[in-house]
Amino acid sequence: MLLRRLSQHVKSQNWFAVALDFVIVVLGVFIGLQISNWNDARAFDQLERNYLVQLKDEVALNRRVTEYQIVYVDTVVESGKRALVYLESDQQCEDDCADLLVDFFHASQVWGAPRTLTIFEEMERLGLPRDAERRQTLLDLYRFLEGWDVVNLSPPAYRESARGYFSPEVSEALWRNCMRYPDGDVEELVRDCVDDLRAMDTSAVLEDMRASPDLANHLRFWIGQNVTAQVLLPDALGYSDSAQAAIDEALAQ
């Protein structure tokens, strides 16, 4: 309709009408583009908000995993220290042999936690969040989480050495009742196997372990690795809290 009218105005050489029609066409295209851009921006705003809602849950889950890891490495370190005292002494274990053997077992554990990075990685691919300061706060947390398990990519030598002294019966008791998976994901170190171990000759196992020329050195190294975790892991809690605050601030807008 508009193009037909424009053609008629050209034929009649009504240049004012031609100019007016041209302005109307350009203005219509401009308004159409603006509406399209506004709709796209609004849709992208909603997309970012939806991702932030999901990311809030992901950050909370990773924080819970970090809290678990802190308890876990504390158990590994304290167990390792008690085991090392025995290895460096010439005293018999006497009536605490079963408890001490559990220490050797717990000290050999390698933390492994199912951290989730999926939502953040997808947001990063999309360039979200768009706020630079908020994005940096999230990067601080996820860069820490991504690099953390490099400390334990390979099981320590102590793990293989110590467990080589466990008989099948001892191993069964240790694995059955001295660790558990309360929610199917995280692993907890407990001592419910002690009574089963007391029915076995654990003192002989411990004496054989103390006679090893390398076990104490392997244990010292592994304790040191876990002490690193004790020192650094609490930083992740601070990063997590900052990330949660940044997300809450964005969602409140």
**DSSP state letters, 95-137:** GGHHHHHHHHHHHT---------HHHHHHHHHT-S-SHHHHHH
The mean pLDDT value for 154-163 works out to 92
pLDDT at 253: 85
- pLDDT-derived band at 28 (thresholds 50, 70, 90) equals low
List, in order, residues 6 or more apart from 67 with CB less than 8 Å away.
237
pLDDT at 21: 55
- Measure the CA–CA gap between 142 and 112, rounded to whole angstroms: 17
Which residue type is seen at 211? A
pLDDT at 231: 92
Query: Percent of the chain scored above 90 by pLDDT?
Result: 66
- Tokens at residue 25, please? 């066409």
Q: Are 102 and 191 in contact (CB under 8 A)?
A: yes
pLDDT by residue (tens digit) across 45-62? Answer: 899 999 999 999 999 999
pLDDT at 111: 79
The mean pLDDT value for 227-231 works out to 91
| Res 217 pLDDT > 90 | yes
Least confident window among 4-13, 65-74, 210-219, 226-235: 4-13
Closest by CA to 229, choosing from 151, 165, 153, 176, is 151
pLDDT at 22: 57
| Res 64 pLDDT > 80 | yes
Beta-strand runs (E) in 80-186: 179-180
The mean pLDDT value for 25-40 works out to 63
DSSP state of 164: T
pLDDT at 34: 67
- Measure the CA–CA gap between 86 and 14, rounded to whole angstroms: 106
| Res 20 pLDDT > 70 | no
| Res 132 pLDDT > 60 | yes
Which residue type is seen at 12? S
> 92-128: b or e for each residue (b if 16 or more CB lie within 10 Å)?
ebeebbbbbbbbbbbbbbbbebebeeebbeebeeeeb
Angle at which helices 132-148 and 15-87 pack, to 10 degrees?
A: 30
User: Collapsing DSSP states into helix, strand and coil, what is residue 88?
Assistant: coil
Spans of all domains in the chain: 31-134+154-252
pLDDT by residue (tens digit) across 68-126? Answer: 999 999 999 999 999 999 999 988 887 789 999 999 999 999 876 678 899 999 999 99
The mean pLDDT value for 189-197 works out to 95
Please work out, in degrees rounded to the nearest 5, the angle formed at the alpha carbon of residue 144 by the alpha carbons of 143 and 148: 120
| Res 11 pLDDT > 90 | no
Q: Are 191 and 226 in contact (CB under 8 A)?
A: no
The mean pLDDT value for 156-163 works out to 95
pLDDT at 8: 59
Q: Are 161 and 119 in contact (CB under 8 A)?
A: no
Query: Percent of the chain scored above 70 by pLDDT?
Result: 80
pLDDT at 183: 73
- Peptide bond before residue 129 is cis, with ω within 30 degrees of 0: yes
| Res 168 pLDDT > 70 | yes
Hey, how many other C-beta atoms are within 10 angstroms of the C-beta on 250?
18
